[in-house]
Structure 1
């Protein structure tokens, strides 16, 4: 993950003094005398991290980075070989590479060591296979939309769903969105209204529209499917273990998906691993904002109560969402799972293939 390097005007006395220099020396001594002598770290891979400084605004992190196969054994690590990072992940001081090394010390994972209080997860392609959404949930909603509208037409919930759909269709017709057809007034009769709604909803589903009116209706249809045991939430096998670990470590985890909050709760509340909602602190959907707009991620960082957006890690499979979250100041990882869309070359983000890769 790319990080901003601070100006070279950082006072040398501060870098070499007790806050930074002293902590580096402590980490180095600890590595050599304790961890290495115990036989716990005998190689050169992996990193060691210490959060330091009592004053929160000036809090920093010392990282003994992983190095290349031609690098330095942990037993020989010295203070000068370590990174010092601010809480945001910005580099305060970098080690000077030795001339005999083929590669410089590796700090590609250093941003992950910045103070992380919250994790925000996407669903499709991140916690859950894309195929579950495209091959199970979408078809279920499409095949049951007419039945759902017919059976619940007079309920207050469905009246609100129809109100939102009418407003969306009016906008779509003005913009010439393909597949949009006018929704007649209630005076035209229940059957005609539902016929037009079904036509519009089917077109929205085919186009995979990320709009609140569709997602809200889908969530209500899926609720019936979950209640009737016709649907069960699917997550990758590494997800439950990671959620349990983060929960045990006091890290708050939230979901941010284009699917409605109700749909999100249904997916995580009804999995083969049981109810995973006990590990989640909240759910965000498109009512907080479009997932490709940076403002949405800033609003989330405010809502979860962190001091800085950089204390939130966002994990997604969508490059445009990653760009928006990074622009808002969040830490970002891109999930690379089977079936996910390919990423642009030189995208500049750190990627993971499993939640076990998140340190």
Structure 2
């Protein structure tokens, strides 16, 4: 059964489309291992220099050395901080890894067929993840199901707001120019779903292996259980 009330689907990545272990056991360690040499080799390029300066601003030290910046970035990785310049730099390192074929973006087997079906049915598809837009495009562009980026109409990251705050979802709704009830948000995290619901979106919790089901949102275990 389809749900004609849904005109757009916004999906989280980690724990929703993608095994959390791919992020924490493949992507994060790769960035942690490669980031120092990447920064030393590319600190003079404008895009990298811009992010290095953003790290210095977050540190409150405009004169921080490159080594101090690297140490701060590694600390943020180890403590799983959602810091925007870190996400941007990780994205650059991951781009290198994807292009080299060091890994492919993991997707659960039920995700790509459902996304294709929804897009063919005229639903607009979007991603909202704490990972940078660049990292999102890389994961779907170099996925183990091929390049899925043509399926998506847009991507959102922490530049739009934090995922546990309703204002972020209000901004997304404004960008989509749709009634909030016409937008379905998919995530494994109850607090994110709470914020989306507060903004008026429809919500579904993905209860993958290792996810704790909440009792305030409808739950599914796979994308092919979702009627849109």
Distance 1:228 1:141, change over 3 A: same
RMSD: 1.5
- Checking the alignment, whether the CA contact within 8 Å between 1:121 and 1:315 is kept in structure 2 is yes
Aligned with residue 312 of structure 1, among 183, 187, 203: 183
Aligned with residue 185 of structure 1, among 63, 68, 84: 63
Equivalent-residue separation in structure 1 for 2:205 and 2:58 (angstroms): 31
**What TM-score do the two structures reach when normalised by structure 1?**
0.61
Query: What does residue 205 of structure 2 align with?
Result: 334
Q: Secondary structure at the match of 1:287?
A: coil
Q: Secondary structure at the match of 1:209?
A: coil
Query: What does residue 193 of structure 2 align with?
Result: 322
Query: What does residue 210 of structure 1 align with?
Result: 82
Query: What does residue 145 of structure 1 align with?
Result: 35
Unaligned runs of 5+ in 1: 1-47, 50-112, 171-182, 187-192
1:283-336 alpha-carbon deviations (Å, 9 max, x no partner) = 100000011110100111111121x11100000011110110000000000111
Equivalent-residue separation in structure 2 for 1:333 and 1:210 (angstroms): 24
Query: What does residue 253 of structure 1 align with?
Result: 125
Unaligned runs of 5+ in 2: none
Equivalent-residue separation in structure 1 for 2:189 and 2:172 (angstroms): 18
- Checking the alignment, whether the CA contact within 8 Å between 2:53 and 2:62 is kept in structure 1 is no
- Shift of residue 199, structure 1, vs aligned partner: 1.3
- Shift of residue 161, structure 1, vs aligned partner: 0.7
- Shift of residue 210, structure 1, vs aligned partner: 1.5
Q: Does 1:118 align with 2:118?
A: no
- Checking the alignment, whether the CA contact within 8 Å between 2:213 and 2:219 is kept in structure 1 is no
1:252-282 alpha-carbon deviations (Å, 9 max, x no partner) = 0000000000000000000121101111111
Higher radius of gyration, 1 or 2: 1
Equivalent-residue separation in structure 2 for 1:132 and 1:277 (angstroms): 19
* 4+ residue segments displaced more than 4 Å: none
1:82-139 alpha-carbon deviations (Å, 9 max, x no partner) = xxxxxxxxxxxxxxxxxxxxxxxxxxxxxxx461100000000000000000000000
- Shift of residue 213, structure 1, vs aligned partner: 1.5
- Shift of residue 207, structure 1, vs aligned partner: 1.5
Q: Secondary structure at the match of 1:297?
A: helix
Query: What does residue 160 of structure 1 align with?
Result: 50
- Shift of residue 194, structure 1, vs aligned partner: 2.4
Q: Secondary structure at the match of 1:200?
A: helix
1:224-269 alpha-carbon deviations (Å, 9 max, x no partner) = 1111111211100001100110011000000000000000000000
Whose relative contact order is higher, 1 or 2, with alpha carbons under 8 Å and at least 6 apart? 2
Q: Secondary structure at the match of 2:159?
A: helix
- Checking the alignment, whether the CA contact within 8 Å between 1:146 and 1:194 is kept in structure 2 is no
Equivalent-residue separation in structure 2 for 1:231 and 1:185 (angstroms): 36
- Shift of residue 185, structure 1, vs aligned partner: 1.7
Distance 1:210 1:311, change over 3 A: same
